[in-house]
Amino acid sequence: MKNKKWILFIISILIILNISFFVYQIIIKNIPSEKQQTKVLDTIKTYNYDLEDRDNTLYKTEFNTLKTNLTGDSINYDEYAKSIAKLYIIDLYTLDNKLNKYDVGGKEFVYNKSLDNYILKVEDTLYKYVEDNTYDQRDQDLPIVKSISVTDFKASTYTLNSTNYNSYEVTLTWEYSKTNTYDKTAKVIIIKEASKLSVVEENRVE
């Protein structure tokens, strides 16, 4: 009888240990590390533009420039257009700080009605081979935009769904922290809707 109780005790302990291990694997181990828990450092509230702790220095500097413009007594829309064109490119082409292929950069600057198509396109092209880094295990050399400049700028008009909008065409060139084959120049087209500017096109410049 004692041997039987002892065997049952051992079996119970083993069951508890197995359940504990299962809980660890499924719940505790899958909680992202502190490094992967993105924190919002600042927000331009009226426009829903966020600055996150994972954004690089170049992005943070331009974000502060944008915030100064948008929260001042009057908005300089030429500079507003230049800022969001830069921020869009920096965020889109800096893949190193993205969690996976679904963590698409530049979204908050894209025209809302085009956003779903934009996300799908980027996931299937530029971000297609971005490895998952949920558990901080990625071993992949991904690009980081280290500098950017506006090389051409002009105000124009843009027709979208039979509606004409005031627009801006911003041509930019940028460099990466390491040599790679990613794009280094583009023309970004931005429209003005009410008081907000949004990216509607990005075209390669040869």
Predicted pLDDT at 135? 82
Q: Does 34 fall in a domain?
A: no
CB 43 within 8 A of CB 50: yes
pLDDT tens for residues 2-27?
555 666 666 777 777 666 555 444 44
In a domain, 9, yes or no: no
**Contacts for 81 with CB less than 8 Å, ≥ 6 apart:** 153, 168, 170, 190, 197
User: How many separate domains does the chain show?
Assistant: 1
Distances (CA, A) of 31 to 20, 23, 25, 94: 16, 12, 10, 25
For the stretch 42-69, pLDDT in tens is 999 999 999 999 999 999 999 999 999 9
Which amino acid type is present at position 91?
A: D
Q: Is residue 20 part of a domain?
A: no
pLDDT in tens, 92-122: 999 999 999 999 999 999 999 999 999 999 9
pLDDT at residue 27, as a whole number: 44
Q: Give a yes or no: residue 182 inside a domain.
A: yes
The reply to whether 145 falls in a domain is yes
Residue 30 placed within a domain: no
Cα–Cα distance measured from residue 99 to residue 38, given in angstroms and rounded to the nearest whole number: 10
Instruction: Identify the pLDDT of residue 110.
Output: 98
Task: Give the integer Cα–Cα distance in Å for 99 and 50.
Answer: 17
In this predicted model, what pLDDT tens digit does every residue of 118-135 receive, in sequence order?
999 999 999 999 999 988
Question: Does 47 fall in a domain?
Answer: yes
| Residue 28, pLDDT score | 41
Model confidence pLDDT, tens digit, residues 121-171? 999 999 999 999 988 889 999 999 999 999 999 999 999 999 999 999 999
Domain carrying residue 111: 39-204
| Average pLDDT rounded to a whole number, residues 194-198 | 96
User: Is residue 13 included in any domain, yes or no?
Assistant: no
